[in-house]
Structure 1
C-alpha cells in the first residue's frame, strides 16, 4: 500500500486500467482498489459509476467465464469459479441455467480428446474416471461417459 492514498482521478485510472486487462466482478474491483483509497465510500461510488457506464458488468463476466470454460469444465466447476470470483448467486444461477444438460457431452468430448479409446485394464479405466472427476464432473456423469465409450464393467467403479 502506498503511504499516500490515490486521488479520485488516479483511482479512476487504476480502475479503468484493471478493467482494460479483463472483466472483473465488483467484489474483485473493491478488493483491488481498497488499498489505494482511504475512503470505502469513494471506491463504492467509483464502482457505481463504472457499472452505470457499462464498463463493470458482472453479467458480461459470467458469460465470458462460461464461454472460456464450457468446453473443458463441468457446470459445477464453472459455478464454483464464478463464486470464487465474487459473482452474486442470482447472476450465477441465471448464467448457468442450461449448463447441466451439456455435462455429458462436454465430458465425453474431453475424454475422447484425451484418451480416444477405453482402456483395457481396470487401473487405466480408473485413471480415466479420475480424469473426469478432477475436472468437476459428477461420478454419475463420468461413469456414463465410460459406458458410452464401451465399458460394460462400470460396476467395478463402485457406483
Structure 2
C-alpha cells in the first residue's frame, strides 16, 4: 500500500518491487489481485498518469508506448491514450525541437543530429521529417542580408 500511496504503479512494477523485498510469488499474486479488485491498483490509471507525465516532458508516442510496454502495460490500454491526429504530434515534435535547437539544421550533419534527438524522444520518422521541413520554412530566406 505504501508504494501506491506515492504514485500509480503498474502491476508488473509492483510485483517486481515486492519480489525484491523478499515476498513469495503466490502471496504477491494474491495481494495484487486484491488491490486490483478494490480498484487500488489499475494499469489503466497508471498508463493515463504516465502518458500525461511523458507528454509534459516532450516525449513522442513511439517512446511512450515502448516505455509502458516495458512496465507491463498492455498495448490495448496504451494506444487509445496516444491517439491524436498527426498534426498534434507534429506540433509536439516542433515544440521539442524548438526547445532543444531553436533553428533549422544548416547541413546534413546537423540534420542527422537533430533527427537522432527527435527519434530518441520517440517521434516517428514522418513527424520528424515534417518538423524539420517546417523549421526550414520558418528560417529567413536571405540570411546574408
Q: TM-score, normalised on structure 2?
A: 0.80
Cα distance 1:101–1:43, how it changes in 2: closer, same or farther (>3 A)?
A: farther
Q: Quick one: distance in 1 between partners of 2:126 and 2:75?
A: 25
Measured after TM superposition, the shift of residue 75 of structure 1 is 0.6
- Alignment match, 1:92: 78
- Alignment match, 1:59: 44
Structure 1 or 2, whichever has the larger Rg, is 1
Map 1:50-129 onto structure 2 (within 5 A): 50-71=35-56, 72-98=58-84, 102-129=88-115
Q: Is 1:132 aligned with 2:135?
A: no
RMSD: 2.0
Larger RCO (CA under 8 A, 6+ residues apart)? 2
Q: Quick one: distance in 1 between partners of 2:97 and 2:111?
A: 11
Cα distance 1:93–1:120, how it changes in 2: closer, same or farther (>3 A)?
A: closer
Q: TM-score, normalised on structure 1?
A: 0.74
Measured after TM superposition, the shift of residue 99 of structure 1 is 6.8
Larger deviation: 70-79 or 118-127?
Answer: 118-127
Cα distance 1:100–1:78, how it changes in 2: closer, same or farther (>3 A)?
A: farther
Q: Secondary structure of the equivalent of 1:46?
A: helix
* Runs of at least 5 residues in structure 2 that lack an aligned partner in the other structure: 138-145
* Runs of at least 5 residues in structure 1 that lack an aligned partner in the other structure: 1-15, 152-159
Q: Quick one: distance in 2 between partners of 1:129 and 1:149?
A: 12
Q: Quick one: distance in 2 between partners of 1:122 and 1:17?
A: 51
Cα distance 1:125–1:89, how it changes in 2: closer, same or farther (>3 A)?
A: closer
Q: Quick one: distance in 2 between partners of 1:48 and 1:117?
A: 51
